[in-house]
Structure 1
């Protein structure tokens, strides 16, 4: 059976192409994003979610991003 095409996943990976070491793995019906071994995001149902930390949350909220 041919692999299912996911255009949004392909778009996200294309946007992150300049970051070396970014990989994508199927997980929980979506995809986990990793840079080298560090998990940093999820693509699920056409949405992109980033993992935030106390050190990075202000950067996201200043851009108008909200938690899910």
Structure 2
């Protein structure tokens, strides 16, 4: 399910729908990988992005990995 992300003006490159970006949510965790699905400019001038989040298998809780493995098609 896509989530919303408020983008700051710290980006020095053009953001384009379908681009992949790295997002830092905490200095102690690995960067998250997200794909931009939609960009919207707010009345205040900020840009909101509708993004799809991707997760590394190693970053998922063990029960979730087990559930995914159980339902994986063979």
Which TM-score tier does this pair reach, normalised by the shorter chain?
0.3 to 0.5
Return the TM-score normalized by structure 2. 0.32
Return the TM-score normalized by structure 1. 0.34
Structure exhibiting the larger radius of gyration computed from Cα positions: 2
Structure with a larger share of its residues in helix? 1
